[in-house]
Amino acid sequence: MGKVDRKYCEALDQQDDLAFLRKEFYLAEGVINMDGNSLGALPRKTMARLSNVMEKEWGQGLIRSWADAGWFEAPVRIGNKIAKLIGAGKGEVLVADSTSVNLFKALSAAVRLNQGRPIILSDDSNFPTDLYMMQGLASFCGDSLKVKVVRPEQILNALSDEVAVLSLTQVDFKSARIKNMELITKKAHEKGVLVVWDLSHSVGSIEVDLNGAAVDFAVGCGYKFLNGGPGAPAFIFTAYRHQSAAEPILSGWMGHQDPFAFSLDYRPAPGIERFRCGTPGVLGMAALEIGVDLFEKTKMSELRKKSVRLSRLFIELMEQECGDYGFRLYSPLNDKERAGHVAFGHDEGLGIYRAIKARQIISDFRPPNVLRFGITPMYQCYQDIFEVVRAIREVMETRAWDKPEYKIRGAIT
Ligand SMILES: *Cc1c(COP(=O)(O)O)cnc(C)c1O
């Protein structure tokens, strides 16, 4: 490839079949969101929708809206829409709670299904909350359950008939490396191990085929690539074949067979609805649904293609413009192994992250030295990538990262 310049990126934008989607988002002037893998951008329709939910459905409809405005069905209705993005069937996905809580529900149900086996297996590249939830469940179960954490390359060897559940995140939150879900699930099943996959960094970013891989349980996040808004509700997937046997340990009234009978004994609802716990947050659901509906305007395969092109352009431009400044690509170079962000290691990563933030480029930093840049084909254009690399180069040339106040890690990055 010859030298990439702004004109080249402009031409890519002109030929982009997905460019029309950018107009669906409220994008603040002069700000580039390179952190859509942590918090997606705001869809324009969300603002109007939330005002409508508040004024009409809540303000005027009051409690009648649980039936009249479809509030009660929202967790299943939106779940069915998410199902199409992850290779799940109708009635296999429910929107509810946070990812952490859903992981607990999935893990506890899976452990019950595989009773007598004392281990939950995971790896040390997993997102911390996933490991913490496993630790909490194990400590509650006392001596009968332990968490075993191995290195990613040791997973297949660590599978045995002692393992009840293997729980992994499909896309590494630091490197964006994609795990082979199909192969790992198959190997786990050969040993009688149930699998719980966390799709937080997959859903809305890469093509996922849960049923193609015969996955047992999965969970995922609503506020990242689904653009559902800060703290958006998450989702849980339970394969049909497990639904009647899977016992919800968080057995709340909304997951009861007949919640409004107010019976004193818990009896779980027949299908995925048994994984409801308490009353869903309607405003959050409404915002998430707008984000999810945007995926109807195109295909996941088209979004993935553009995502790969954007990230490849980013990697090539970083090499061209910043090749001498000590950045090490921390994500896989192979497009097939890399999901929806590009990460670079740099010894001055924290200062660089802060200096580009001062230039209105939103990215993030993961200790000790990883800079992450989210790739979101719905609202990013190729010229955004050019601007970001140009800013990074300027920060490096002028040593703008080298400020004492940039070196102290804040409580939130
Ligand atoms: C973002 C993320 C979560 C977030 O969990 P919350 O309960 O929503 O805070 C969990 N797991 C993974 C792998 C994530 O990337």
Q: What CATH number does residue 23 fall under? A: 3.90.1150.10
What's the pLDDT at 188? 98
What pLDDT score does 3 carry? 86
Q: Examine the domain organization and report whether 154 and 119 are in the same domain.
A: yes
131: CA distance to ligand 1 center in Å?
11
The yes-or-no verdict on residue 412 having pLDDT over 90 is: no
Average pLDDT over residues 129-155: 97
Query: Can you tell me which atom of ligand 1 is nearest the CA of 98?
Result: 7
Distance, CA 129 to ligand 1 centroid (Å)?
7
Residue 407: the pLDDT is 82
292 lies in the same domain as 306: no
So what's the pLDDT on residue 410?
Answer: 75
Does residue 216 share a domain with residue 305? no
Q: Which atom of ligand 1 lies at the shortest distance from residue 102's CA?
A: 7
pLDDT confidence tier of residue 289, bands split at 50, 70 and 90? very high
| pLDDT in the model for residue 375 | 98
Could you tell me if residue 163 is inside a domain? yes
Residues in the ligand 1 pocket, defined by CB under 6 Å: 98-100, 127, 129-130, 169, 173, 198, 200-201, 221, 234
Nearest atom (ligand 1) to Cα of 99: 7
* Shortest-distance Cα residue to atom 15 of ligand 1: 200
% of the chain at pLDDT higher than 70: 99
How confident is the model at residue 408, as a pLDDT? 78
Same domain (yes/no): 74, 213: yes
Percent of the chain scored above 90 by pLDDT?
Answer: 96
Q: Which of 258, 273, 297 is the last residue of a domain?
A: 297
- Which whole number is the average pLDDT over 92-119? 98
Ligand 1 center from residue 200 Cα (angstroms): 6
* 310 shares its domain with 381: yes
**Dist. CA 127 → ligand 1 center (Å):** 7
Indicate which residue's Cα is closest to atom 14 of ligand 1: 200
Measured by CA distance, the residue closest to atom 10 of ligand 1 is 99
CA 130 to ligand 1: nearest atom = 11
Interstrand relation of 32-33 and 361-362 (parallel, antiparallel or unpaired): parallel
Q: What local confidence, expressed as pLDDT, does residue 2 receive? A: 65
pLDDT at 20 (0 to 100)? 98
**Host domain of residue 26:** 6-30+299-407
Residue nearest to atom 5 of ligand 1 (CA): 99
- Give residue 405's pLDDT: 87
Residues 393 and 353 in one domain: yes
Pocket test residue of 38, 39, 104, 129 for ligand 1, highest count of atoms within 8 A of CB: 129
| pLDDT beyond 90 at 360 | yes
Are 158 and 258 within one domain? yes
Q: How many distinct structural domains can be found in the chain?
A: 2
pLDDT band at 409; cut points 50, 70, 90: confident
Q: pLDDT at position 395, please?
A: 97
283, 330: one domain: no
For residue 397, tell me if it sits in a domain.
Answer: yes
- The verdict on 143 and 122 lying in the same domain is yes
Report, as residue numbers or ranges, the catalytic residues: 127, 198, 223-224, 372
- Nearest alpha carbon, ligand 1 atom 2: 200
In terms of domains, do 324 and 185 share one? Answer: no
Ligand 1, residue 231: give the atom nearest the CA.
8
CB-CB contact of 218 with 196 (8 Å): yes
The answer to whether the predicted template modeling score (pTM) of the entire model surpasses 0.95 is: yes
CA of residue 217 to ligand 1 center, whole Å: 16
> Could you say which of 266, 297, 328 is where a domain stops?
297
For a mutational test of ligand 1's pocket, the pick from 132, 170, 174, 221, i.e. the residue with the most ligand atoms closer than 8 A to its C-beta, is 221
Residue 15 has a pLDDT of 98
Quick one: 123 and 135 in the same domain? Answer: yes
CA–CA separation, 36 and 38 (whole Å): 5
Mean pLDDT for the stretch of residues 7-15: 98
Residue 289 sits in the same domain as residue 180: yes
How many CB atoms are located within 10 Å of the residue 21 CB?
Answer: 22
> Residue 212 belongs to a domain with what CATH number?
3.40.640.10
**100 Cα to the center of ligand 1, angstroms:** 6
pLDDT, mean of residues 309-334? 98
